[in-house]
Amino acid sequence: MGSRVIAWAVRRRGTAVTATVLAAALAGTAFAAAPGTAWKLGVANTITGYMTSLAGSYTGSLVSLRNDNTGSSAKALTVVGKSTTGSALHVSNPNGGPALSLAVTAGKAPFTTNSGVKVTNLNADKLDGLDQSAFARGVAGKANNADKLDGIDSTGFYAAGSKVADSAHADHADVADTATTATNATNAANATNAGNAGNADKLDGIDSPTFLAGRVLGAGTGSVLGSPVLVSGYNHIYAVSLTASSAGTCQVNAATQISTSAANAATGPYYRIAIKRGTTNLDDSVYGHYFPASAAGVTEELSRSANVSVAAGETIQLGAYFGNVNGDWVGDSPYIHLNYICFSTPGATVTSTSVSSSKTAPAGLPDQNP
C-alpha cells in the first residue's frame, strides 16, 4: 500500500496554519505512543496510564470530525468504554448551555438505542408525539374530573347532603346500634338489623323482595287508535318500541278495547300483551282474556300486566296480541293504551320467565294457542 498524505488544519486567533503529515503506514497498523508523542493519523494509537486532552479557545467547534462515506456503517466517531459502571462518553457544559445538541434531517429520530430500560430523570416535551395537554392529569391513577361515571351523568346521582324520598324517618336513627337500644331512633321500629342505621331489615314495614332492584332504564307510553283493523286469525299490533341500555326487566301495563260497526253475537278474540324480539312475534304466554259478545260500538276495556325481560342493547316492541279473530270481529278496530317502566338487573343475567297456566278454554270457547 502506498503512502498516505493527511492535512491537519489548526486555526488560532483567526490565522490558518496547515501542517502536512506524511504517514507511511499500512492499514490496521498500531502505534504505541509515549507521553508527548504526536498523535498519528491513519493508524491505531495506544497509550496506557496517561490522559490525552485538548484545550483551546475558539468561536466555533474546537475539533471537527467528518466522514464523507455514505454507507450504512459509516460513522464520524466511535467511542468504546469498558467500565462496568461508568459511562463510555461524558459530555458536560458548566456554563448553563445544553451539554449535547443533535441535528438531523426533518422526520428522522435524533438518536437510537438498543435498550428498553427506563432512563432516570429524562424529561421529554412529548409522549408518542402527543403534548401533555392531550392527557388527563389525576391523583393516584384517577382523573381529577370526568364528564360521566360508568356512563351516568352527575344528575343521575344524589348530591352529598341530599335526602331520598321518605328519608325523614331515618333522621333519628343516626346513633342506633340496635333496634332495642335505639333511644334516638323513634322511627326505627322496623330496623331490626340496624347498626348505625346502615342496614335495615324492612323499609316502612315492607320486606325487600317486595321492591324491584336496580336503577330505572327508561319509561314510556304508546297508543294504537283503531288502525290497523283486525284480520282473521292471530294479530300482533304494537304500540311502542324501546332499546335497553343494559339488561333488566320492564313492567308493562296495557288496556284494550275494540270498536265494532255492528253487533258481535259470538264471544270475541282473546287478548294478551304482544312482544316482538327482532323479527319474532311473541306474547306474555299467560292465559288471555276473552272479549265478550257485544252490541255495536265500543267493547268494555280489558287490562293486563306483564314483566318482560330485556338484554343489554336489545330493541323490543310492545303492544297487544289478539288471538283467534273470526266472524263478525274481523275488520273491527282495536284501541290500545300501553305504558312501561324498565329497571336494570344489577349483577345478574336476565332470563325470561312466565307463569304456567292452562291454554284450554272454558266450554263453548276455542282453545288458545301456546
Q: What contacts 321, CB < 8 A, 6 or more positions away? A: 234, 235, 236, 237, 271, 272, 273, 274, 281, 283, 288
Confidence of residue 223 (pLDDT cuts 50, 70, 90): very high
Query: Percentage of the chain surpassing pLDDT 70?
Result: 69
Of 94-98, 149-153, 185-189, 299-303, the range with the lowest mean pLDDT is 185-189
Q: What contacts 31, CB < 8 A, 6 or more positions away? A: 25, 40, 43, 44, 45, 46
pLDDT, residue 156, reads 75
pLDDT, residue 122, reads 85
pLDDT, residue 77, reads 86
The arrangement of secondary structure in 216-344, i.e. its CATH architecture, is Sandwich (2.60)
| Residue 178 scores a pLDDT above 70 | no
Question: Please, what is the average pLDDT of the chain?
Answer: 76
Over residues 154-181, the mean pLDDT reads 60
Distances (CA, A) of 152 to 85, 146, 247: 54, 11, 15
* More confident position, 332 or 348: 332
Instruction: Give the residue from 239, 251, 230 showing the smallest Cα distance to 327.
Output: 230
* More confident position, 295 or 146: 295
The residue ranges of every structural domain in the chain are 1-66, 168-211, 216-344
pLDDT, residue 254, reads 96
* More confident position, 96 or 190: 96
Confidence of residue 238 (pLDDT cuts 50, 70, 90): very high
Confidence of residue 209 (pLDDT cuts 50, 70, 90): low
Over residues 159-174, the mean pLDDT reads 60
Say if residues 226 and 334 touch (Cβ distance below 8 Å). yes
Say if residues 340 and 271 touch (Cβ distance below 8 Å). no
Confidence of residue 334 (pLDDT cuts 50, 70, 90): very high
Confidence of residue 363 (pLDDT cuts 50, 70, 90): low
* More confident position, 345 or 182: 345
Sign of the torsion angle spanned by Cα atoms 126, 131, 137, 142: negative
| Residue 2 scores a pLDDT above 50 | no
Of 23-27, 257-261, 305-309, the range with the lowest mean pLDDT is 23-27
- Residues 64-111: pLDDT tens digits? 889 889 888 888 888 888 898 888 888 888 888 898 888 888 888 888
Over residues 283-297, the mean pLDDT reads 91
